[in-house]
Chains A and B, each alone.
Chain A
Amino acid sequence: GGIITQTPKFLIGQEGQKLTLKCQQNFNHDTMYWYRQDSGKGLRLIYYSITENDLQKGDLSEGYDASREKKSSFSLTVTSAQKNEMAVFLCASSRTGTSAETLYFGSGTRLTVL
């Protein structure tokens, strides 16, 4: 078995601030993902990476940057936090990058922007 660790669990920022979320996995999976979950909506893909140093934009990439520094870690940066923004950011990994592959999720980072 493996685990996906997201840090921090809770993140409070100010409007306009640059904020970074981190994710580590020890599954030795090739592909990692960042999803955003808003209340009443399904998970939306922000960025994904199929291997170290690879980056692919998802449906919601505007306003975010990502970095796959090594196979086990994938970080997400909110480039300019929006006032009153509240969402949960979920990191996931899968063995390969095909859509028909089991995803494993971290427990999320809850963002609040004041």
Chain B
Amino acid sequence: GDQVEQSPSALSLHEGTGSALRCNFTTTMRAVQWFRKNSRGSLINLFYLASGTKENGRLKSAFDSKERYSTLHIRDAQLEDSGTYFCAVAGNKLTFGIGTRVLVRP
């Protein structure tokens, strides 16, 4: 079946720095979605991409269906960016990765 791998599994950042999360998948997918689960358990929709890149504030995401990956870049990290980030890729069905836990430290 469709497989989705997220890396790294966990990430620690100092405030003001940046990093990238990656989502690899095994077959050609039509779209990717990125979510963040916050401390209250809510899953917040960050991006939906069928191709190319999108930017929203300090977050930027890219989707390369041919190379079978998507990335989520965080720049100028803030404490409220902490949480678990999930990617979900759309093939015949929507398949979720197991998440990347991000902790932003002062």
- Contact across chains for A103 and B33 when beta carbons are under 8 A apart: yes
Using CB atoms, name the residue of chain A closest to B2: A99
Q: How many A residues touch B, CB cutoff 8 Å? A: 22
Question: Which of A16-24, A40-48, A67-75, A78-86 contacts its partner?
Answer: A40-48
Question: Which residues of A (5-48) have their CB < 8 Å from a CB of B?
Answer: 35, 40-45
B42 close to A (CB within 8 Å)? yes
Question: Would you call B45 and A43 a contact (CB within 8 A)?
Answer: no
Contact residues in B for A108 (Cβ distance below 8 Å): 41-43
Residue B73 lies at the interface, judged by CB distance under 8 Å to chain A: no
Q: Is the CB of A40 within 8 A of B94?
A: no
Residues of A within 8 A of B33 (CB): 102-103
CA distance A108 to B44 in the complex (A): 12
Give the distance in Å from the alpha carbon of A88 to the alpha carbon of B37 in the complex.
12
Output the residue of B42, B43, B48, B50 with the most chain A CB within 10 A: B43
- Minimal beta-carbon separation of B44 from chain A (angstroms): 8
Per-residue CB contact flags for chain A residues 40-70 toward chain B (1 = under 8 Å, else 0) read 1111110000000000000000000000000
- The residue that B97 contacts in the complex, of A42, A106, A110, with Cβ under 8 A, is A42
Q: Which residues of B contact A103 (CB under 8 A)?
A: 33, 35, 45, 88, 94
Name the residue of chain B whose CB is nearest to the CB of A39. Answer: B98
A-facing mask of B57-101, CB < 8 A → 1, else 0? 000000000000000000000000000001010111111111100
A90 touches B31 (CB 8 A): no
CB-CB < 8 A to B35: which residues of A? 103, 105
Residues of A with C-beta under 8 A to B97: 42
CB < 8 Å: which of B41, B43, B86, B90 contacts A99? B90
The 5 closest A-B pairs by CB, nearest first: A42-B96, A105-B43, A99-B90, A100-B90, A100-B31
Residues of B within 8 A of A (CB): 4, 30-31, 33, 35, 40-45, 48, 50, 86, 88, 90-99
